Structure 1
Amino acid sequence: MMAIAIGLSSWQKLGLEGQLAIATGRTIIQLLGVGYVLAFVFAWKNPIAVLAILMVMLSIAAIVARNRIGKKIPQVLPVVWGSILASSALTLGYTTLVIIQPPIWYEPQYLIPLAGIVLGNAMNGAAIAGERLVSTVNASRAEIETHLSLGATPQQAVAQYRRDAIKAGLIPTLNQMMVVGVVTLPGIITGQLLSGVDPLNAASYQILIMFMLAFTNLVTTLLVSQGLCSQFFNNNAQLK
């Protein structure tokens, strides 16, 4: 399929042949590499190894979201990293310990795949909300300073921009929830169906995952937007 895609790009003179080839190679190498690593971790079942993988995934997600938001804001990486950590840990802790209840809390068969789904969506939510908030504040400096001069607190001056950013960060998740099972079948339920799992069980897992993503994205965008808002002002409540 990828060879045909590269051929079509060449035929239509799109100039995407190199990018498609590199993307194909990276997909094969990265996923096979992850497969070997996870096979080892699944067999070892060591909590330190599981937590190490989760920390690497978390850090990469935070760096990617930070790059989307912008590097000029001070402390943006710790804000994003901490926000994703808090929301993901809360979601995974509840899901693993209360709902799934594996034999051991760090069971890699459950914890790592669920963490990958949650972290990826938290990263996207943080990036969208953070980028929207930063760009809106930069474009509305005069309005914010007017609010401040009239006695508004920094949080009041940017409250509407923060709410808009949070809503923007949740749009992809809400759209997906609106059409799941009707227009699209996500990867989790599709993979389970292909492996022969009972359709009702597969649907139940997908429902759980959708609720996990909605909760994680909301908490992440709340924390990221709050953390970023605190970086926009100095100790004298002046816009930086």
Structure 2
Amino acid sequence: MQIFLTYGDIALASSLIIIVLLISWRLRLKLSKTLLIAAFRTIIQLSFIGLILAWIFAREQWYEVLLILTVMTLIAGSAAKNRVKRSYKGLLTDTLLAVGISAILVTAIAIIAILNVEPWYTPQFIIPILGLILGNSLTAISLTSNQLIESFHEQSGRIEMMLSLSAKPFEAVHEQIKAAITNGMTPTLNSMLVVGIVSLPGMMTGQILAGADPTQAVRYQIVTMFLICVSSTLGCTISALLIYRRFFNKKDQFILLQ
């Protein structure tokens, strides 16, 4: 059985936000304005992207699909940069490289080697897969970047001491890099540990609600979980290495960027 949602169904679901507004008002959380803006933007943004995707799906032009993928990647890189508390000149470039390289590489492997999509730019496959990977990668990259930059500032004395004891630049910051990458990977790993037991991921739930075969929905979810894990790991590693090089000059001297 396949159930088609009407605008009335969406309106009914939207009305449930009143419960959250009442909780916010009763506990004085001061989230009412933010919640209303978020709810409004959710409706407008998703409706707008739905119209765009419907148009692109109908046309299937490679250059239009490529434009959408580029815009998605640029927005993801910018979002990752904006979540870092201590910024520096060049951070946007670093986050764009980390997000772009990891997400595009893994998406290409998924489309060409795993799913064997022909042609590769078929929008119904490449756009949602890249979107899933970008959404998770930017979170992992921002967590890694934020912690690594903070640790460089907070532990600058320790790093300089290790350098004075003849440690190589990478040796001096290896512990900070390791901790930052682990921190960035934690949400992905936690999700993988409980998937199918505590939670049913959005992609799998959406396919089942749309009437897809549950076994196929599970297979797609397994593939996407592994793609997300690989992309997040690559993104965190690339981000950490790029930031690490920013904090050392050509003479391998540690510098604090502002």
TM-score bucket (shorter structure): over 0.9
How many Å separate the matches in 2 of 1:16 and 1:83? Answer: 33
Partner of 1:79: 94
2:164 aligned to 140, 145, 149, which one? 149
Measure the CA separation in 2 of the matches of 1:57 and 1:111.
Answer: 12
Q: Following TM superposition, by how much is the alpha carbon of 1:238 offset from its aligned partner in structure 2, in angstroms?
A: 1.2
Q: Higher mean Cα deviation, 10-19 or 131-140?
A: 10-19
Gaps in structure 2 of 5+ consecutive residues: 1-15
Aligned to 2:189: 174
2:236 is the alignment partner of 1:221: yes
- The letter of the residue matching 1:166 is I
Counterpart of 2:8 in structure 1 is none
Equivalent residue, structure 2, for 1:90: 105
Query: Hey, what does 1:138 align to over in structure 2?
Result: 153
- Which residue in the other structure is 1:211 paired with? 226
Paired residues of 1:61 and 1:119 also in contact (CA < 8 A): yes
Deviation at 1:214, TM superposition (A): 0.5
- Residue 32 (structure 2) aligned to one of 13, 17, 27: 17
Counterpart residue number, 1:235: 250
Measure, in 1, the Cα distance between the counterparts of 2:65 and 2:170.
39
The Cα shift of 1:11 comes to 3.8
**C-alpha displacement at 1:103, in angstroms?**
2.3
- Equivalenced residues, count: 240
Instruction: Name the residue aligned to 1:127.
Output: 142
Q: How much has 1:206 moved relative to structure 2?
A: 0.4
User: For the residues of structure 2 that align with 1:223 and 1:174, how far apart are their CA atoms?
Assistant: 18
How far apart, CA to CA, are the structure 2 residues paired with 1:8 and 1:69? 30
TM-score (norm 2): 0.90
8 Å Cα contact 2:103/2:133 also seen in 1:
yes
Q: Who is 2:216 aligned against?
A: 201
Q: TM-score, normalised by structure 1?
A: 0.96
Cα deviation, residue 122, structure 1: 0.9
Provide the identity percentage. Answer: 35
3-state SS, counterpart of residue 69 of structure 1: coil
Contact 1:73 1:231 in 2 (8 A): no
> Contact between 1:9 and 1:17, CA under 8 Å: does it hold in 2?
yes
Give the AA of the match of 1:83.
A
Unmatched 5+ stretches in structure 1? none
For residues 27-63 of structure 1, give each alpha carbon's deviation from its aligned partner in whole angstroms, at most 9, with x where no partner exists.
1000000100111111111111111111111111111
TM superposition shift of 1:70: 4.5
Q: Distance in 2 between matches of 1:169 and 1:4?
A: 33
RMSD: 1.2
What amino acid is the match of 1:236?
K
Query: Is the contact between residue 99 and residue 134 of structure 2 (CA under 8 Å) also seen in structure 1?
Result: yes
Question: What amino acid maps onto 2:106 in structure 1?
Answer: T
C-alpha contact (below 8 Å) 1:74/1:231 kept by paired residues:
no
Task: Please give the per-residue CA displacement for 1:106-149, whole angstroms capped at 9, x wherever unaligned.
Answer: 00000000010001111011100011101111110111001111
Distance in structure 2 (CA, Å) of the matches to 1:108 and 1:71: 37
Q: 139, 150, 159: which is aligned to 2:174? A: 159
Could you tell me which amino acid in structure 2 is paired with residue 49 of structure 1? E
